[in-house]
Chains A and B, each alone.
Chain A
Amino acid sequence: MNLNVTILEPAPRLKSLKGKTVGLISNGKEGTAGFFAHVDRLLRERYQVSKVILRTKSNYSAPAEDEIIDEARRWDLAISGLGD
């Protein structure tokens, strides 16, 4: 049996968040609204992030939809997290 294995390189690390676009991928649970609103505020005020985009999965226990992953390719940084 032959398996083709592709080794993916991680994206380059950012030296600064200033002026960057950051995407937040929420699992959509009840606690996420307040949690990610706070993260949004911290990113803008403390790290001078220029744009914060919030996207929410339709099923909090399944991977993000393809549309979200495709959109994330245009972000400088993505944060995925729980709001439990």
Chain B
Amino acid sequence: MSSELNSQHFDIDDSVDVQEFYHSKGWTDGFPIVPPTPTAVQACLNWALMPAHQIIGFEPVRERTINAEKLAINAVMAGCLPMHFPAVVAAWMAMLKEEFLLHGATASTGGCAILVILNGTIRQEIGARSDFNVLGSADRATSVIGRAIRLTLINILKVSPGAIDRSTLGHPGKISYCISEDEENSGWSSLAESRDIPKDASAVTVLAAGAPRQIMNEWTTKPEEILDTYAAEMRANMRNYSIWAGNYVVIMPPQHREHMKVAGWGRQEIANYLFEKARIKRSEWSSVGKGSVVRDKADIEYCALPSPDHLLLIAAGGPAGGFGAIIPPWLGTKSQAVTLAIGSCVGCDPSEEN
């Protein structure tokens, strides 16, 4: 497949000059970029079977049409190979769903990043790892896909610090925030399957998310006690950051999963337990310096999860260590996680055809 690229072209011979030119234009995240040559951009489009002008979606607040060519340019800049590009496209389609609230998530003082979770066979195809250092630079694939999300936001929607991005602090996930689930060793169905994606399909889930909050419990084998530690961290987030219920991510490493497996606890049992335990009363704000906004609602109970189904449980992490994490939502249910199959298409719904 070939199609005409429409973006402006710059001829720069020296590789160092390329970097300085892109930095001077404000088109980077501060790191070096891969020059988006027409050949490399076209290769991404070819892999995804997309013409350059294909519309991926529309961002209604900035009134920007997102097309495949612009995504491909930024994906190449981020270091993506063609095989990484479909995940970037699917993530953008998910981010452009109304319930994700993309403009708010990228402009808010709250400083969230966009977490991308990969499921399905694409993980093996692109070499995404789910074990050691899974929340850091675990592998090339997740690093560049996550970075592509940030560069596209910067260059297509002007989500750069001080422009549209008004984050007070932000967090390191805003450089790259992509992980893949350890489906083969989880003992339960994948996150995507639990969110109605067919078993054989690859998928992305996106969430406007805060930074990971790590927990540790290596001193029990009881599922209830292990989950009490996760629930405590969720409650701490409710007290210290935001009390509103939403999609919480729980990342559970093999060491904890083994104890769940032995006890016969699966995805549903874990979600049900955390739904019951991750609750605080508004009066608890008084213990963290927020007593002024308790008012007459001290006895009202708030739950971290609107329902057990709102938990995004992910199997991931290195083989040893009782270290897990919760990743809190940015703005409760006002920005919701979205899961889409990779290869899905805006406007491809048969019900929308004439």
- Give the interface of A toward B (CB within 8 A): 1, 3, 30, 59, 61-63, 84
**A24, B109: Cα distance in complex, Å:** 21
In the complex, identify which listed stretch (B16-24, B99-107, B172-180, B226-234) lies at the interface while the others stay far away: B99-107
Q: How far is the CA of A30 from the CA of B109 in the complex (A)?
A: 14
- Which residues of A lie under 8 Å from residue B109 when comparing CB positions? 84
**Contact, CB under 8 Å: B108 / A61:** yes
Partner of A61, one of B53, B60, B293, B335: B335
Task: List, sorted by A's number, 7 A–B pairs whose CB atoms are closer than 8 Å.
Answer: A1-B53, A3-B65, A61-B105, A61-B107, A61-B108, A62-B101, A63-B61
Determine the main DSSP class of B at the interface with A. loop
* Given A30-B293, A84-B109: A61 and B61 interface contact (C-beta under 8 Å): no
Interface string of B89-107 (1 = CB under 8 A from A): 0000000000001011101
Q: In the assembly, what is the distance between CA of A59 and CA of B53, in Å?
A: 34
In order of increasing CB-CB distance, the 8 nearest A-B pairs are: A61-B104, A1-B53, A59-B334, A61-B108, A62-B104, A63-B61, A61-B331, A62-B101
CA distance A30 to B290 in the complex (A): 12
Residue of A nearest to B166 (CB): A82
When distances are taken between beta carbons in the complex, the residues of chain B under 8 Å from A1 are 53
- Contact status A61-B65, CB under 8 Å: no
- Main DSSP-derived SS at the A contact region: loop
A6 CB, min distance to chain B CBs, angstroms: 10
CB distance from A1 to the nearest CB of B (A): 5
| Cα–Cα distance between A35 and B99 once the two chains are bound (Å) | 30
- Is B53 within 8 A of A62, CB to CB? no
Collect the chain A residues with CB atoms within 8 Å of residue B108's CB: 61
In this complex, the member of B53, B108, B293, B334 whose beta carbon has the largest number of chain A beta carbons within 10 angstroms is B334
Residues on B with C-beta less than 8 A from A63 are: 60-61, 103
A59 to B105, CA, bound (A): 12
Closest-by-CB residue of B relative to A82 is B109
- For residue B241, give the distance in angstroms from its CB to the closest CB of chain A: 15
Known: A61-B103, A61-B107. 9 other contacts (CB 8 A): A30-B293, A59-B104, A61-B105, A61-B108, A61-B110, A61-B334, A62-B101, A62-B104, A62-B334
Q: Give the complex CA separation of A52 and B216 in angstroms.
A: 54
User: Once the chains are docked, how many angstroms separate the CA of A84 from the CA of B293?
Assistant: 15
Taken together as a complex, chains A and B put the C-alpha atoms of A30 and B334 apart, in Å, by 17
Q: Which residues of B contact A62 (CB under 8 A)?
A: 101, 103-104, 334
Residue in chain A with minimal CB distance to B331: A61
CB-defined contacts of B103 to chain A, threshold 8 Å: 61-63
Task: List chain A residues, Cβ under 8 A from B53.
Answer: 1
Chain B proximity of A4: nearest CB distance (Å): 12
Give every chain B residue within 8 A of A59 (Cβ-Cβ). 101, 104, 334
Q: Smallest Cβ distance from A8 to chain B, in angstroms?
A: 11
Q: Given the complex of chains A and B, what is the CA–CA distance between A63 and B35 in angstroms?
A: 36
Shortest Cβ gap from B195 to chain A (Å): 23
B153 CB → nearest A CB, Å: 16
Complex Cα spacing A61 to B60, Å: 14
Task: Give the docked Cα–Cα distance between A50 and B170 (Å).
Answer: 42
Select from chain B the residue with minimum beta-carbon distance to A59: B334
Q: Give B216-255 as 1s and 0s: 1 = Cβ < 8 Å from A's Cβ atoms.
A: 0000000000000000000000000000000000000000
